[in-house]
Chain A
Amino acid sequence: MSALLLARIQFAFTIGFHFLFPAMTLGTALIILISETLYLIKKDEVYKKITNFLARLLGLIFVIGAATGITMEFSFGTNWSGYSRAVGDIFGPILAAEGVIAFFLESVFIGVLIFGRNKVSAKVYWVAALLVFIGGHLSAFWIVVANSWMQTPAGYAINEAGKIVLTSFTDTVFNPSTIIRFCHTVVASWMTCAIMVAGIAGYYVRQGLHGQTAKTMLKIGIILFALTPLLQLATGHIHAIEVINMQPEKAAALEGHFDTAKGVPLYLVGFVDEQKEKTYGIYAPKALSFLYNFDWNSEIKGLKDFPKENWPPVNLTFQAYHIMVGIGMLAIALGLLGAYLLWTKKIYEAKSYLLILPFLIPLPHIAHETGWIAAEVGRQPWIIYKLMKTANAASVVVTAGEIVFSLLMFFLIYLLLAIMFIMLFMKIVKNGPAV
């Protein structure tokens, strides 16, 4: 295996693992903020118990996110030094801004959230919850800026020496895909924790544990579970249109769409035969054209309009995207069902619904992992869309043997982290909010 491929596998593995945790952090910070705000208003101990419980989970989640996050910052230098040399002018300030403007805020105040309950007043504690929420989301914003710039670069010029230089940081930050990608990513994180909290509370309620605390948790969880997938449908829709406009090759790969045509179908499930350049499966006729601009006969570009060496791996992109969309649709249905049960006050006795809830916890994780695969694999062969190829970005001095070693170590260490995380997560859940 080549050093380049190994470096790609290592990056995919380490970022795929890392992403699980910030996604949980953002959503947990949101629910803590909601419950702590309700505590401040209603002075009901139930909310305090919920916050304390979630703060314990957040401590576990955050530490693994922070530990595996350092890997990501190191990896631009260790494994992608070609990339780092080329884009320091633009990518560097984004990472530095993430540290100064966002991650400091989150990391400093998370200490107060986890350790400070008895050291500060309820109001200061609430401010800490707010600042952790803001810091976490700002942090996500800057990381999404970095990623979006690789998808739809803007605010740069190539100087006479052939170097990428900064011309407008505002354009760099608010490049065409930043805002919608940020919304889509953040709502994914909220949805992840809506389902996590609903799942945990569902388990408690079904077992008759933790009385009113569990019921209130379930209520907060279900309301968010009903809202976030719908919101995600909207952000997903806008994001998809942005991709069709800005990265038509990727959009075509997402749908396995080869020939430019009018009235393009939308596949629900399918398979792309990359040899024969054909897609098979169950589809809704003309639906993709309709979704693009509400015209059943609008034209959508196919992959064959682009040089074949610039195609991404089509089937992988297609499958990852469709798994994400499928989970999204399932989440909408189950979230609305939950809202209906809550509205009609049947939810606390809805044994089979409560039984399913905990098993839904992994679903949003699968959705955002496959979503990222679709977005990143779909951008290949570029590391920066139409500006730099992934093949030119890797470190030249790092050998395949060295990466085999580090990859193996990452695999073992992250496996250990995963086992410990699941075990301790279960333990904290088992101890529950009463302790």
Chain B
Amino acid sequence: MENIQNYQILWFVLVLILFAGYALLDGFDLGIGALLPFIGKTKEEKDILINSIGPVWDGNEVWLITGGGALFAAFPHAYATAFSGFYLAMMLVLFALIFRAVSMEFRANDEERAFIWEKAFTVGSGLAALLFGVALGNVVYGVPLDNKMEFTGSFFTLLRPVPLLFGITGFAAVLLQGAAYAVMKTEGELQKRSFRAVSILLRVNLITAIAYFMTMAFTFPGLTSNWVFYVAILFTLLGLAGIFFSLKKENDSAPFWESSFSFIGLWLAVAAFHFPNLIKASNDQNLSITVFNSSTGLPTLKLMSVIAIIGMPVVIGYTIFVYRIFKGKTKVSDHY
């Protein structure tokens, strides 16, 4: 493995895993946030929903921070181009994430204005989920770049139909992830409402996922001959079908795993047609930022591999330990 290309490919995979891990984990708590007023009707129900993610959301968000750090360390040009190029959109993501984080704590301590913080929580969660998809859609679909790897578009470049479809597809997947998590963590009337949400979102996801895969097949020539793409479709469809049968049996834990499985399919599709690009240039394919022209040197990539290969299993280990502490149905008394 002395060849730098092997490390560049490895880090493409690892960065993708970190961002996909973020999407699955923070996905369910962003989903809970966005669905809060639709699933939770009384104060007590809202308390339960927020308490269900209270102990874990901050750990989930570290996947984003680590993903960002890994992108910076492995492919600094991709990190620099996307974050500076999508400046206003990134600022909106940031403001959304700030509001969704603090509003849970503020709501718990500031009863008089709790309703304002609930709205901030919902809007912040939903907006962040939507914008992440749009951002990913843009780097995949392509943005105009110059020969210094700088973005030459504007804020409105980001709002083209295909990236917006990515945003909507991701948003729908996050909502499903949130609803499925709610089904797992709640009981009674609240759980019934969560089941209904899963059932509606299942249909929505079926439509968005089909639109997503079809658009991809038409937009990216060559994709239809890539076997990974078909595996991706299979993952998503199997996941969604699984939810359909779990709903029939009123199984309250399987939908979460099936929803995650379906989400992984969406990410696999990105992997299938995006490699070796990190940010595709829409104006001239030769200007694209790829894993090969934007990476750091071999010593850095090797060092990062050691940190990731030793560190991440430990992280995943204690994360599972903590999830087990809080497993089972969330009670209203579980404090926020």
Interface residues of A (CB under 8 A from B): 59-60, 62-64, 66-71, 73-74, 76-79, 81-82, 84-85, 87-93, 95-101, 103-105, 107-112, 114-116, 119-120, 124, 159, 163, 165-167, 169, 395-398, 402, 405-406, 409, 413, 417, 420, 423-424, 427-428
Shortest distance between the CB of B192 and any CB in chain A (Å): 26
Stretch of B101-109, B160-168, B217-225 lying at the A interface: B101-109
Are A88 and B94 in contact (CB-based, < 8 A)?
Answer: no
Q: How distant is B316 from chain A, measured CB to nearest CB, in Å?
A: 9
Using a CB-CB cutoff of 8 Å, which residues 61-109 of chain B contact chain A? Answer: 61-62, 64-66, 68-70, 72-77, 79-85, 87-88, 90-91, 93-95, 97-99, 101-102, 104-106, 109
User: Considering the complex, which residues of chain B in the window 242-283 have a beta carbon less than 8 Å from any beta carbon of chain A?
Assistant: none
Q: Does B189 belong to the interface (CB within 8 Å)? A: no
Within 8 A of A (CB), among B296-329: 296-297, 299-300, 303-304, 307-308, 311-312, 315, 318-319, 322, 325-326
**Are B322's CB and A73's CB within 8 A?**
no
Assuming the contacts A103-B65, A424-B109, asked whether A111 and B322 have C-beta atoms less than 8 A apart, the reply is yes
Given contacts A70-B65, A114-B55, A409-B95, contact A88 B104 (CB under 8 A): no
**Apart from A74-B94, A81-B83, A119-B326: 19 A-B pairs, beta carbons within 8 A:** A66-B58, A71-B94, A77-B84, A84-B80, A85-B76, A92-B296, A98-B69, A100-B66, A100-B307, A100-B311, A103-B66, A104-B66, A107-B61, A108-B56, A111-B322, A114-B335, A124-B325, A398-B84, A409-B91
Q: Identify which of A66, A78, A104 contacts B84 (C-beta below 8 A).
A: A78
Say whether A109 contacts B98, CB under 8 Å.
no
Q: Does B284 contact A (CB under 8 A)?
A: no
Contacts of A88 in B (CB 8 A): 72-73, 75-77, 79-80, 296, 300
**Given known contacts A116-B325, A120-B325, A397-B87, A85 and B80 CB-to-CB distance under 8 angstroms:** yes
Chain B interface mostly: helix
- Contact A104/B83 with A63-B101, A95-B72, A111-B56 known, Cβ cut-off 8 Å: no
User: How many angstroms from the CA of A78 to the CA of B311 in the assembled complex?
Assistant: 27
Contact B72–A77 (Cβ < 8 Å): yes
With A68-B98, A96-B69: A104-B74 Cβ-Cβ less than 8 Å: no
Rounded to whole angstroms, the CA-CA distance of A70 and B106 in the bound complex is 19
Cα of A60 to Cα of B83 in the assembled complex, Å? 29
Instruction: Check A92/B76 contact, CB under 8 A, given A111-B55, A111-B326, A167-B299.
Output: yes
Q: Does B59 contact A (CB under 8 A)?
A: yes
A74 contact from B68, B101, B106, Cβ within 8 A = B68
Contact present for B69 and A95 (CB under 8 Å): yes
Given contacts A81-B84, A105-B318, A115-B335, contact A92 B110 (CB under 8 A): no
A84 pairs with B105, CB closer than 8 A: no
| CA gap between A89 and B152 in the complex, in Å | 25
Beta-carbon contacts under 8 Å, B26-65 to A? 51, 54-56, 58-59, 61-62, 64-65
Contacts of A406 in B (CB 8 A): 87-88, 91
User: Does B151 count as interface, using CB distance less than 8 angstroms?
Assistant: yes
Min CB distance B88 to A, Å, is: 6
* Docked-complex contact B62 and A107, CB < 8 angstroms: yes
Q: List 25 A-B contacts (CB under 8 A).
A: A63-B101, A70-B94, A73-B69, A77-B68, A82-B80, A85-B80, A87-B76, A88-B79, A99-B69, A103-B66, A107-B62, A115-B55, A116-B55, A116-B326, A119-B325, A124-B325, A163-B297, A165-B297, A166-B296, A395-B87, A398-B84, A406-B87, A406-B88, A420-B110, A424-B110
Q: Say whether B187 faces chain A, with CB atoms less than 8 Å apart.
A: no
> Within the complex, what minimum Cβ distance (angstroms) separates B59 from chain A?
4
Cβ contacts B102-134/A at 8 Å (1 or 0 each):
101110011000000000000000000000000
Shortest beta-carbon distance from B61 to chain A in Å = 7
Closest to B51 in A: A115
User: Could you tell me if A398 and B87 are in contact, using CB atoms closer than 8 angstroms?
Assistant: yes
